[in-house]
């Protein structure tokens, strides 16, 4: 499992080099010649779209297949074809990439500006599809144990409800070509889902009439259909020691999941001698004094300064005026930063907990407290004020 890099919460857009990493295999360690042979450079990358084997074989008007030495084909879709689609109809969004297994102490959560082409537009290249219920997709892997696969229903790929974002193939991150460290040249991106749905180093899509999911994460008691949860997190690299008289400043983010975000709250109490461990059925939860943490009313000033031209392109959902204003804030499936400033604390050891409350009035970890659909445990930090 990966870890959060220091500085990952310093900006509304996480710098590309500060993104967390969870991966099976590390193809970015390949040399240039090996990358070219593996189809992991912009010039050599291509995408296969093929049908499943019997008994789940669909009827396809056209397939796109690489020349693998056994078939004289070489019809796979090159990156240049996706760039053509991108110039005609780009998909853009700001989205938090978060691991399904992101526990409060891990910080496997990064905010990025993603650009690409709708999966629907790519599938249309294959013409009429019959007897297709799902699509399986996977990325480059050197060894079978590194295979990472995921799946979607065909409806999820083709249709987008109003106010939602389409599934798309990401070509760019934070205004630059998607680097191999982040899954480039091309990765899948499912805006409302955890990171395991957004397969890196995408190379193959299999259309199938099979009704079952084949996600790698589903093999370990995880929910492969779970949308992201609304939850609050604290900076995992924050200080744990403060001097008497100085303010205790704690920073963090709240992820705006499928149920939206209403507010963030904190609960501070003196350390009970358990290093912050508190059982879910402990009576203290019922008498906890939760207080609201004010959230910013708009996106941070100059948050787009690191992008080419210093602003967002036109047409990014939920944002306008190049990112200076937000039509909906906090924006869905992004994070919003928060800062808590505590002053006048007496020398002692303390426990600090935070939680998010969604638009339906559910406080974290509700309404989905089950960890197989995303870990929403309430984070706790212990810190000491010394005299």
Contact 189, 112 (CB under 8 A): no
CATH number at residue 250: 2.60.40.650
Q: Write down the pLDDT at residue 72.
A: 52
pLDDT cut 70: percent of the chain above it: 98
Q: Write down the pLDDT at residue 315.
A: 92
Confidence band for 144, pLDDT divided at 50, 70 and 90: confident
41 belongs to a structural domain = yes
Report which of 116, 143, 136 is spatially closest to residue 199, judged by C-alpha positions: 136
Question: Is pLDDT of 63 > 90?
Answer: yes
Query: In angstroms, rounded to a whole number, what is the distance separating the alpha carbons of residues 379 and 80?
Result: 45
Same domain, 70 and 196: yes
Mode of pairing for the β-strands spanning 187-189 and 176-177: unpaired
Range ranked top by mean pLDDT from 5-9, 13-17, 115-119, 298-302: 115-119
User: Domain containing 361: what range?
Assistant: 231-295+330-386
Tell me: the pLDDT tens digits for 259-305? 999 999 999 999 998 989 999 999 999 999 999 999 999 999 999 99
Task: Report which of residues 69 and 351 the model is more confident about.
Answer: 351
Q: Write down the pLDDT at residue 220.
A: 85
Same domain, 236 and 189: no
Mean pLDDT, rounded, for 360-381: 96
119-137: string of b/e by CB count within 10 Å (b at 16+)?
Answer: bbbbbeebeebeebebbbb
Same domain, 138 and 193: yes
> What's the distance, Cα to Cα, between the start and end of the chain in Å?
38
Same domain, 76 and 158: yes
Mode of pairing for the β-strands spanning 168-173 and 134-139: unpaired
Q: Write down the pLDDT at residue 68.
A: 64
Question: Is pLDDT of 1 > 60?
Answer: no
66 belongs to a structural domain = yes
Q: How many angstroms separate the Cα of 140 from the Cα of each of 130, 180, 203, 251?
A: 27, 11, 6, 37
Contact 228, 258 (CB under 8 A): yes
3 belongs to a structural domain = no
Same domain, 67 and 110: yes
Domain boundary residue, one of 170, 200, 220: 220
DSSP 382: E
Domain boundary residue, one of 168, 196, 220: 220
Report which of 278, 326, 242 is spatially closest to residue 12, judged by C-alpha positions: 326
- Average pLDDT of the chain? 94
Give the three-state DSSP class for 73.
coil
CATH number at residue 139: 3.90.420.10
Question: Is pLDDT of 74 > 80?
Answer: no
Residue 155 belongs to what H/E stretch?
helix 154-158
Report how many domains make up the chain: 2
Please state whether the predicted TM-score (pTM) of the whole model is above 0.85.
yes
Q: Write down the pLDDT at residue 215.
A: 92
Same domain, 215 and 245: no
Residue 284 belongs to what H/E stretch?
helix 284-287
Tell me: the pLDDT tens digits for 191-232? 999 999 999 999 999 999 999 999 998 888 899 999 999 999
Question: Is pLDDT of 321 > 70?
Answer: yes
Same domain, 214 and 236: no
- Give the Cα-Cα-Cα angle 303, 235, 372 (nearest 5 degrees): 105
Same domain, 188 and 285: no
Same domain, 92 and 113: yes
Query: In angstroms, rounded to a whole number, what is the distance separating the alpha carbons of residues 196 and 205?
Result: 16
Mean pLDDT, rounded, for 322-326: 95
Contact 104, 234 (CB under 8 A): yes
Contact 46, 39 (CB under 8 A): yes
Domain boundary residue, one of 200, 220, 240: 220
Query: In angstroms, rounded to a whole number, what is the distance separating the alpha carbons of residues 3 and 97?
Result: 13
């Amino acid at each position: 499992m990966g870890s959060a890099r220091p500085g990952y919460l310093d900006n509304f857009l996480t710098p590309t080099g500060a993104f967390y990493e969870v991966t099976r295999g590390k193809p970015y360690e390949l040399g240039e010649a090996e990358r070219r042979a593996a189809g992991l450079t912009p010039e050599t990358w291509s995408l296969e779209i093929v049908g499943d084997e019997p008994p789940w074989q669909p009827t396809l008007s056209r397939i796109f297949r690489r020349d693998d030495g056994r078939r004289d084909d070489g019809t796979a879709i090159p990156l240049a074809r996706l760039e053509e689609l991108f110039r005609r109809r780009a998909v853009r969004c700001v989205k938090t990439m978060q691991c399904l297994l992101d526990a409060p102490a891990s910080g496997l959560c990064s905010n990025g500006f993603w650009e690409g082409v709708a999966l629907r537009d790519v599938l249309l290249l294959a013409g009429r599809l019959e007897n297709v219920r799902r699509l399986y997709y996977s990325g480059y892997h050197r060894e079978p144990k590194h295979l990472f696969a995921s799946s979607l229903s065909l409806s999820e790929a083709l249709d987008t409800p109003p106010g939602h974002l389409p599934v798309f193939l990401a070509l760019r991150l934070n205004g630059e070509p998607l680097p191999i460290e982040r899954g480039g040249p091309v990765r899948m991106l499912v805006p409302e889902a955890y990171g395991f749905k957004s397969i890196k180093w995408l190379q193959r899509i299999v259309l199938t009439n099979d009704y079952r999911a084949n996600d790698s994460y589903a093999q370990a008691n995880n929910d492969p259909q779970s949308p992201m949860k609304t939850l609050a997190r604290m900076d995992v690299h924050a200080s744990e020691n403060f001097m008497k008289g100085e303010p205790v400043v704690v920073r963090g983010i709240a992820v705006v999941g499928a149920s939206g975000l209403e507010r963030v709250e904190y609960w501070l109490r003196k350390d009970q001698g358990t290093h912050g461990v508190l059982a879910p059925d402990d009576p203290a939860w019922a008498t906890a004094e939760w207080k609201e943490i004010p959230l910013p009313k708009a996106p941070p000033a100059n948050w787009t300064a690191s992008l080419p031209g210093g602003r967002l392109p036109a047409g990014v959902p939920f944002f306008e005026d190049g990112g200076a204003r937000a039509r909906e804030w906090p924006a869905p499936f992004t994070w919003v930063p928060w800062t808590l400033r505590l002053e006048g604390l007496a020398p002692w050891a303390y426990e600090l907990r935070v939680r998010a409350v969604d638009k339906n009035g559910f406080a974290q970890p509700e309404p989905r407290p089950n960890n197989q659909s995303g870990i929403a445990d309430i984070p706790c930090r212990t810190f000491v004020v010394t005299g």
